[in-house]
Amino acid sequence: MKHDIELKVNGDTVTLQVDSRRTLLEVLREQLGLTGTKEMCNKGDCGGCTVTLDGNAVLSCMMLAVEANGKEVVTIEGLAGEGYRLHPLQKAFVERGAIQCGYCSPGFIMSAKALLDKNPHPNGDQIREAISNNICRCTGYVQIIEAIESAALEMGGAK
Amino acid sequence: MTYYRRVPEFDYLAPKSIGEVFSLLGRYKGDATLFAGGTIALHQMKERIGARPYVIGLKGVSGLDALAVGKDGVLTVGAMVLLQRIADSAEVQGGWPLLATVCRLLGTPQIRNMGTIGGNVAIRFSTAETLPALIALRAQVRIAAAGGETVVPVENLYREMKSDNLLTEFLLPALPKGVRMGYRKFAVREHFDYATVGAAVVLDMDDGKTCKDITIGLGGVTLPTMRAKGAEEIMKGRTVTDDIIAKAAEAAAEGGHMGSDVMFSAGYKSKVLKTMVERAIKEAVSD
Ligand SMILES: Cc1cc2nc3c(=O)[nH]c(=O)nc-3n(C[C@H](O)[C@H](O)[C@H](O)COP(=O)(O)OP(=O)(O)OC[C@H]3O[C@@H](n4cnc5c(N)ncnc54)[C@H](O)[C@@H]3O)c2cc1C
């Protein structure tokens, strides 16, 4: 069964037709070409597919696209500013060596973004809790946590 | 276990009212799945566990997402209320902090932003973490069926809920003043993993010494053994001492039935459960 849906993705309103069984992840990657959002475990364990939906971190692989109708989605592609200017979180991940193969990074960054939007000054425990659904198999988590801390400082300082 | 990347084909139906849910369930008898947050349902469809050709989405059904305290002091929690909303609710934190704590410690931010309390309960897993808390809080659940509805204690849900029933809301009675609560869960990773075992305790004490009333909900055990009645009886009317708490915990662990899983033997889990009950009661005493 096909459904006509309307989404706001990274600020743009898009209308598209989706099949009942398509996940939000499949629609983002395959219909909208937004391949920054990754598929890894496809069952909720790894967090690689994390995007924000109306500001909250969700797993796009565990969500039917038809149920995102009328909602606002932000993916990793929606973070950078004008002229390739990286978001403070993206910059901090690069500078702090929080990236190795990079496959998990979009999910971590979106989890961190959802946290910082609600809580601009998180403590270490709050950061660890916010990324508890995300798995990295290369760097370990120390640099990732440091990157989020330093992005929080930079973003707080900019205000 | 075969795991497929794609979800099998189905038609998605979006009823707007509880009446429409039942007319769809009637029309597609046995061929339709209820779909709340989908965090379990979609996973099961990918694994081809009980996949059905029709999915009834509950997100647009009105009347399932109340979170409010009534004049009688009863807290109503609609089945579609998200776990994170419960954890964040000032009213729940104030009057039923046990439920807020359980929802805050459950799963991950993503799961709590997507999963509903109705889905957590309806799946009736022994590891569903809101169940022990709801039982300890003496919560009732309203179950709607094609022919009408009933309200039953959550602890009886395992035998009262039939297929094609819809849970519509949970009703949590106001607690006596000064009541204390405790919650302990044992999970491999406390944030993320299901509680292997857990214990939720609601305790009412006279003059800070005697146990006037207590309810104990166990996690990780079979549904009929989730309320630790034997342990409650040991505590009731007695002066609360370390010794009596240890005896109650022992009885609770004996009464809770559980199987071995991929990580832990039933014997080990039973030992850990005893410790969790003991700690949860002590936490309640000093609450
Ligand atoms: C990575 C991951 C981690 C998790 N961690 C935890 C955890 O730590 N603790 C825990 O307890 N759970 C955990 N879960 C399980 C799950 O996400 C939660 O239990 C959640 O609350 C389920 O709710 P849902 O709305 O997503 O249910 P759904 O998947 O939509 O539904 C679950 C089942 O209940 C039925 N159902 C749903 N709503 C109703 C209703 N109102 N009336 C009748 N039937 C209904 C559905 O038909 C389905 O069979 C985890 C899941 C994942 C994927």
Q: Name which CATH class applies to A82-154.
A: mainly alpha
Secondary structure class of A87 (helix, strand, coil): coil
User: Which range is least confidently modeled, B4-18, B32-46, B131-145, B259-273?
Assistant: B4-18
Q: Which of A19, A63, A115 sits opposite B114 (nearest CB)?
A: A63
Whether the per-residue pLDDT at B36 is higher than 80: the answer is yes
Rg for chain B (alpha carbons), in Å? 19
Q: Which residue has the tokens 């509903």?
A: B116
In chain A, which stretches have pLDDT less than 50? Answer: 158-159
- Per CATH, domain A2-78 is 3.10.20.30: yes
Do residues A133 and A121 touch, judged by C-beta distance below 8 A?
A: no
Residues in chain A whose beta carbon is closer than 8 A to a beta carbon of chain B?
1, 3, 19-23, 39, 42-44, 47, 50, 53, 56-59, 62-64, 66-67, 111, 114-115, 128-130, 132-133
Give the angle B49-B55-B61 at the CA atoms, nearest 5°: 135
Query: Can you tell me the ipTM of this complex?
Result: 0.96
Mean pLDDT of B193-207: 94
Tokens describing residue B154: 């959550």
Residue of A nearest to B108 (CA): A133
* Residue B230 forms contact with A (CB below 8 Å): no
Q: What does the alpha-carbon distance between residue B60 and residue B111 come to, in Å, rounded to a whole number?
A: 19
The 3-state DSSP composition of chain A as helix, strand, coil percent (nearest 5) reads 40, 20, 40
Beta-carbon contacts of A83 under 8 Å, excluding residues fewer than 6 positions away, are none
Q: Do A2-78 and A82-154 share a fold? A: no
Q: Hey, where are the domains in chain A?
A: 2-78, 82-154
Do residues B200 and B186 touch, judged by C-beta distance below 8 A?
A: no
pTM, two decimal places: 0.96
Closest CA–CA distance from residue A153 to any residue of chain B (Å): 22
